[in-house]
Amino acid sequence: MINKVVANADEAIADITDGQTLMLGGFGLCGIPENCISALVKKGVKDLTCISNNAGVDDFGIGLMLKQRQVKKMISSYVGENAEFERQLLSGELEVELIPQGTLATRCLAAGYGMPAIFTPAGVGTEVAEGKETRNFNGKDYLMEYAFDADFAIVKAWKGDTAGNLIFRSTSRNFNPVMAMAGKITIAEVEELVEVGQLDPDHIHTPGVYVHRIFQGKDYEKRIEQRTVRSKEQG
Amino acid sequence: MINKVVANADEAIADITDGQTLMLGGFGLCGIPENCISALVKKGVKDLTCISNNAGVDDFGIGLMLKQRQVKKMISSYVGENAEFERQLLSGELEVELIPQGTLATRCLAAGYGMPAIFTPAGVGTEVAEGKETRNFNGKDYLMEYAFDADFAIVKAWKGDTAGNLIFRSTSRNFNPVMAMAGKITIAEVEELVEVGQLDPDHIHTPGVYVHRIFQGKDYEKRIEQRTVRSKEQG
Amino acid sequence: MLDKNGIAKRIAKEIKDGYYVNLGIGIPTLVANYIPEGVNVVLQSENGLLGMGPFPFEGEEDPDLINAGKQTITTLPGSSIFDSAMSFGMIRAQKIDLTILGAMEVSENGDIANWKIPGKMVKGMGGAMDLVASAKNIIVAMQHVNKAGESKLLPSCTLPLTGVNCIKKIVTELGVFDVLPEGGFKLLERAPGVSVDEIRKATAGKLYADDDVPEMVVG
Amino acid sequence: MLDKNGIAKRIAKEIKDGYYVNLGIGIPTLVANYIPEGVNVVLQSENGLLGMGPFPFEGEEDPDLINAGKQTITTLPGSSIFDSAMSFGMIRAQKIDLTILGAMEVSENGDIANWKIPGKMVKGMGGAMDLVASAKNIIVAMQHVNKAGESKLLPSCTLPLTGVNCIKKIVTELGVFDVLPEGGFKLLERAPGVSVDEIRKATAGKLYADDDVPEMVVG
């Protein structure tokens, strides 16, 4: 097997440079690559284009990179509650491209599956369709959307092995597997790094061929964005 | 949860009628829906169009349906060793459309993911490209291939639950999950049918939403096409 | 006149046994509380889950298990987890029987606007454009008029569109409406104590109402 | 002159540490036997496996575990299983570093024909068209001439094509050849005991050979 292990986040992201395009996995704050984001903040690399479904919150996730003005452009489906993001957007410091969530996911899939473009009905007849090719199949209109082209994909998995195979846990899977497939170079941080042979081949979500670097992450905060509960009495 | 269980193969295929298009999972004889094929042979439904990577062997798999002249057209990537198949093809009784294996898989994926067409470079400049739209992206030519439109998809899984969730075992996965997504009606036969809650949600390969009928299969032969071994001495 | 829970309760009656349903944020989320006994429904959360259960008990929240509103949730037996590409794949392939979502405006021909107000901070469309473009059956749950007192059922939308010609049914605090294939809102049921005239006044788009529109039975 | 194992042995030297490799049926399959110690390679089988191992011991065959040639095989630690769409997805996305396959004919511009002989029963292209259209590096392993004694390295293919302008390198029993970007076969190495003249005679396509083409070192 091919060994993809690097020591830590700093080493994993060492060759990311100003102006590059990064994909970052996660949905909201769930399943985000916390260690790599910290390392990117530390490194101070800037003018980044970030493809990520969301943009974090003011003091966590991609919000930490925004606060440091490391992001030139966000490509997201929903940018949520983030005061600094809003300030930068309104002041023109930050460029934002909003695209439908399914289009975002499928443009990742397209890159990972070597398909230069896909067709989706999402956005037909809306401003999302502006400048895009519309095509009718079986009486329904679709937009042609292009595969993403990202220098790096940075994902967070639950378990991974030294060959780069990844297993995600619950809904922290979200965009991580599709982005893992889509990066020219894919970096995976995992909660538990194991030797090859420890993971069941039938349970692998992302085969190691898609992963170029993997490391054991640490100190996961896993912040909850909307803590909703019921009391035991409610049953 | 929604219960998808039917009693057996006969009940599962009861409404398949002459002239319909069926997808059948499996690669070679590995992971084929043995029970449903037997039931289709028993039912005697004919003039079928079968989409399946291979066409079985003379006395097993889809070969059993060919022997009974139930198949009008095969859509496959490789039709292998099958004397009766060859006889019917040469005599003009059977129509065969050969398409690249990846194109076959991706046309299934397209159907399951609601994409009317996909682009693939497979077959560019060959007879496979005849009559098809060729399009250049980033300096490379691709063929536009359409999503399959099948009345039924018939797949074989290792385990399944009453809600239709499926888990496949080893390389018997092959075309099964992509075909399961692609049928207007999907029938799954499983080696072990369990109650909901018995399967780990993180390990499901095919979510139950794609499966309309499921039943506990029986008497699996699982024939091996090419038995290759090494002796213990060889090590 | 219905309150939010009343709207949710009425919509719950549209859900049939065996349905896979996607519930948007807001009133649609409340619909889950009113699904009748014996009606087996699977809720999809488009971040990658089929079989969404209720909120977790206090202390049992799992940060890895959230819904599309980023709320902590649980799974039910028979649930499955998948990635975002498959999630929107099954949405595009119309495997989800019913989508229920909120709206700022709906037009006579079924256009919907629910993601952007020019001049205000735009948060994004999330999965809404995918859902409305693909779903075979969409019900809008919303207030009949906006905060300025203006009708949200319009001849044509004034806000940037989320999707065109896609809404089939609307439930507001005043009534239940079909969006007719030929255009226009057909009043099917009046909310308790609400007259057709009141509804007509609150509806800017073309309204069709029979003489004897029944009062709805909720719950 | 090389035998089949010699061809496989020579090709094995093209495999670099860290490569993901897809091996076709026939001579390519033999290449797996000659991968040098210390060169870590992962073999892909396009029916849905990365990390293919050797044949199973007698009595340990698993009908659910086969390769693209339908042979019973084993997996190595670190292997992964996936469906056919992902398998060809990773092929199309050029995640596989090297593809080695057989051919009936290769032309000066890198066209390959290996799936169909008019008038004979056609079994199908399987995954060959996907592999040749997508792979970033393809080596053909084949006999230099066919059973009729005709060269298989041609100015242009006579048989129906599998792919165009895609073959980068050819290894036959007579030598190792690059397919030049501008067209033509460049002789890189002679098989032991084979002269450039012999090779030239067996090559119908344009052959470029320096004066001092080295004899190959096998194994």
For D12-71, the pLDDT digits (tens) are 999 999 999 999 988 999 999 999 989 999 999 999 999 999 999 999 999 999 999 999
Task: Choose from D80, D84, D97, D99 for mutation: most chain A CBs within 10 A.
Answer: D80
Residue A235, pLDDT score: 52
Those residues whose C-beta lies under 8 Å from the C-beta of residue A78, and which sit 6 or more positions away, are A53, A54, A98, A101, C123, C124, C125, C126
For chain D, report the end-to-end CA distance as a whole number of angstroms.
Answer: 14
Percent residues over pLDDT 70 in chain B: 99
Does the structure show a pLDDT above 80 at A229? yes
Coil, helix or strand at residue C200: helix
Does the structure show a pLDDT above 90 at B131? yes
Cross-chain Cβ contact A140/B116 below 8 Å: yes
Tens-place pLDDT, residues C114-152? 999 998 888 999 999 999 999 999 999 999 999 999 999
Task: Choose from B128, B174, B223 for mutation: most chain D CBs within 10 A.
Answer: B174
Those residues whose C-beta lies under 8 Å from the C-beta of residue D59, and which sit 6 or more positions away, are B229
Coil, helix or strand at residue C202: helix
DSSP state for residue C160 in the 8-state scheme: P
Q: Please report which confidence band the pLDDT of residue A180 belongs to, taking 50, 70 and 90 as the band edges.
A: very high
Of C81, C85, C96, the CB nearest to B204: C81
Q: Which residue has the tokens 């769409």?
A: D85
Mean pLDDT of D73-96: 98
Cross-chain Cβ contact A2/D80 below 8 Å: no
With contacts defined as CB-CB under 8 Å, which chain D residues touch A113?
Answer: 85-86, 88-90, 92-93
Bridge partner residues of C52 (DSSP) = C75
Mean pLDDT of B13-27: 98
Does the structure show a pLDDT above 80 at A80? no
Mean pLDDT of C31-60: 95
Tokens linked to A191: 């909660």
Q: Which amino acid is at A71?
A: V
Bridge partner residues of A156 (DSSP) = A189
Tokens linked to B200: 């780990």
Coil, helix or strand at residue C99: strand
With contacts defined as CB-CB under 8 Å, which chain A residues touch D90?
Answer: 112-114, 181, 207, 209-210
Report the distance separating Cα B51 and Cα B20, nearest Å: 11
Mean pLDDT of A33-50: 98
Q: Which of A43, D116, C91 is nearest to B114 (CA)?
A: C91
Do residues A97 and C145 lie in contact, with contact meaning Cβ atoms separated by under 8 Å?
Answer: no
Q: Please report which confidence band the pLDDT of residue B83 belongs to, taking 50, 70 and 90 as the band edges.
A: confident
Q: Which long-range contacts (CB under 8 A, 24 or more apart) does D200-207 make?
A: D202/D144, D202/D145, D202/D151, D202/D153, D202/D174, D203/D144, D203/D151, D203/D153, D204/D150, D204/D151, D204/D153, D204/D154, D204/D155, D205/D107, D205/D108, D205/D151, D205/D153, D205/D154, D205/D155, D206/D108, D206/D155, D207/D153
State how far Cα A148 lies from the chain centre: 12
Does the structure show a pLDDT above 90 at A83? no
Report phi then psi at A66, rounded to 5: -65, -40
Q: To 10 degrees, the CA torsion angle through D187, D193, D194, D196?
A: 60
With contacts defined as CB-CB under 8 Å, which chain B residues touch A201?
Answer: 170
Tens-place pLDDT, residues B33-49? 999 999 999 999 999 99
Does the structure show a pLDDT above 60 at B235? no
From the CA of A104, how many Å to the nearest CA of chain B? 14
pTM for the whole structure: 0.97
Q: Please report which confidence band the pLDDT of residue C218 belongs to, taking 50, 70 and 90 as the band edges.
A: confident
> In three state form, how does the secondary structure of chain D look?
CCCHHHHHHHHHCCCCCCEEEEECCCHHHHHHHHCCCCCCEEEEECCCEEEECCCCECCCCCCCCECCCCEECCEEEEEEECCHHHHHHHHHCCCCCEEEECCCEEECCCCEECCCCCCCCCCCCCCHHHHHHHCCCEEEECCCECCCCCECEECCCCCCCCECCCCCEEECCCEEEEECCCCCEEEEEECCCCCHHHHHHCCCCCEECCCCCCECCCC
Do residues D192 and D216 lie in contact, with contact meaning Cβ atoms separated by under 8 Å?
Answer: yes
Residue B197, pLDDT score: 97
Tens-place pLDDT, residues A140-154? 999 999 999 999 999
Q: Please report which confidence band the pLDDT of residue C215 belongs to, taking 50, 70 and 90 as the band edges.
A: very high
Bridge partner residues of D99 (DSSP) = D22, D138
Does the structure show a pLDDT above 60 at A112? yes
Cross-chain Cβ contact A115/B118 below 8 Å: yes
Does the structure show a pLDDT above 80 at D96? yes
> In three state form, how does the secondary structure of chain B look?
CCCCECCCHHHHCCCCCCCCEEEECCECCECCCHHHHHHHHHHCCCCEEEECCCCCECCECHHHHHHCCCEEEEEECCCCCCHHHHHHHHCCCCEEEECCHHHHHHHHHHHHCCCCEEEECCCCCCHHHCCCCEEEECCEEEEEEECCCEEEEEEEEEEEECCCCEECCHHHCCCHHHHHHHEEEEEEEEEEEECCCCCCHHHCCECHHHCCEEEECCCCCCCCCECCCECCCCC
Residue B51, pLDDT score: 98
Report phi then psi at D196, rounded to 5: -60, -35
CB-based burial, C68-82: b 16+ in 10 Å, e otherwise = bbbbbbbbbbbbbbb
Confirm whether C46 is a catalytic residue: yes
Tens-place pLDDT, residues B136-188? 999 999 999 999 999 999 999 999 999 999 999 999 999 999 999 999 999 99
Q: Please report which confidence band the pLDDT of residue C72 belongs to, taking 50, 70 and 90 as the band edges.
A: very high
For chain C, report the end-to-end CA distance as a whole number of angstroms.
Answer: 14
Bridge partner residues of C163 (DSSP) = C112
Residue D175, pLDDT score: 97
Element containing residue C21 per DSSP (H, E):
strand C19-23
Directed axis angle between helix B101-112 and helix D84-92, to 10°? 110
Tens-place pLDDT, residues D170-217? 999 999 999 999 999 999 999 999 999 999 999 999 999 998 999 998
Does the structure show a pLDDT above 90 at A233? no
Q: Please report which confidence band the pLDDT of residue A232 belongs to, taking 50, 70 and 90 as the band edges.
A: confident
Cross-chain Cβ contact C88/A224 below 8 Å: no
Mean pLDDT of A71-83: 92
Q: Please report which confidence band the pLDDT of residue C190 belongs to, taking 50, 70 and 90 as the band edges.
A: very high
**Burial, D37: exposed, middle or buried (Cβ in 10 Å; 0-12, 13-18, 19+)?**
exposed
Length of chain C: 219
Residue B231, pLDDT score: 87
Report phi then psi at B171, rounded to 5: -75, 5
Q: What's the mean per-residue pLDDT of chain A?
A: 96
Residue C93, pLDDT score: 98
Residue B203, pLDDT score: 98
Residue D5, pLDDT score: 95
Percent residues over pLDDT 90 in chain A: 93
Cross-chain Cβ contact A117/B140 below 8 Å: no
From the CA of C97, how many Å to the nearest CA of chain B? 10
Instruction: Name the residue with higher pLDDT: A235 or D26.
Output: D26
Number of Cβ pairs closer than 8 Å across B and C?
77
Flag the least confident range among A105-109, A229-233, B190-194, C169-173: A229-233
Tens-place pLDDT, residues D110-156? 999 999 999 888 899 999 999 999 999 999 999 999 999 999 999 99
**Burial, D210: exposed, middle or buried (Cβ in 10 Å; 0-12, 13-18, 19+)?**
exposed
Report the distance separating Cα B115 and Cα A120, nearest Å: 6
Do residues D207 and D174 lie in contact, with contact meaning Cβ atoms separated by under 8 Å?
Answer: no
Does the structure show a pLDDT above 80 at A156? yes
Q: Please report which confidence band the pLDDT of residue A82 belongs to, taking 50, 70 and 90 as the band edges.
A: confident
Residue A234, pLDDT score: 59
Cross-chain Cβ contact D71/B228 below 8 Å: yes
Report phi then psi at C44, rounded to 5: -100, 135
